[in-house]
Amino acid sequence: MNYIWYFLIIISIVFGAKNGTLNEVANAIFSGTESAVKIVLTLLGIMTFWLGIMKIAEKSGIVEFLSKILNPIAKRIFSELPKDSPIIGDVAMNFSANALGLANAATPIGIKAIEGMQKLNKEKESASNSMCMLLAMNTAGFQLIPATVIAILAANGSTSPTEIIVPTLIVTSTAFISAILIAKFFQKVFPPQIEKEADNAD
């Protein structure tokens, strides 16, 4: 990626010199860096605020409360896991933290869930259905509050940056549900090899 940016900068300078617009190129560089600094500072303030709010939600037990509500749903989605497995709770906690924008809290919980799934995985060289499902759910990126996008819009002078919340909720919900359905579909179409071997042995 660094090489790509280096190439683009060099090309800009070369064409600017050739077309006699080198001053405009230099001005664009300075104005661009100034805008970048303003966006970073605005983003820092808003992200600090939202992360503080989300941390309060985590410490006050809101995340844990949401995970208890989501436990029955998680059991149905991850049906191949034992019903009383603590991994189900980790999955629910992971989803709750992601939905509230607590990425820093969601990551270690997600890793813990994957490690637990790997212990139950009979085919150690391949990801289990549960592991693929959790990865699909995290990739879909469902969020109730898109704090980062709100911060960027605010930094760029948007008069109503929070208007993105409803569209983001619709899009991420659609992506999240689609990811689950597609993962379930491929689980049916391509069952684990170990299951096929067991059927052949019978």
Confirm if 179 and 137 have CB atoms less than 8 A apart. Answer: yes
Angle at the Cα of 44 from the Cα atoms of 41 and 49, rounded to 5 degrees: 135
pLDDT-derived band of residue 199, with 50, 70 and 90 as boundaries?
A: very low
Share of the chain above pLDDT 70, in %: 85
Distance of CA 110 to the CA centre of its chain: 11
Q: Which residues contact 143 (CB under 8 A, 6 or more apart)?
A: 98, 99, 101, 168, 169, 172
pLDDT digits (tens, 9 = 90+) for 131-184: 999 999 888 878 887 776 777 787 777 788 888 888 888 998 999 999 999 998
Q: Which residue has the higher pLDDT, 123 or 198?
A: 123
d(CA 139, CA 144): 15
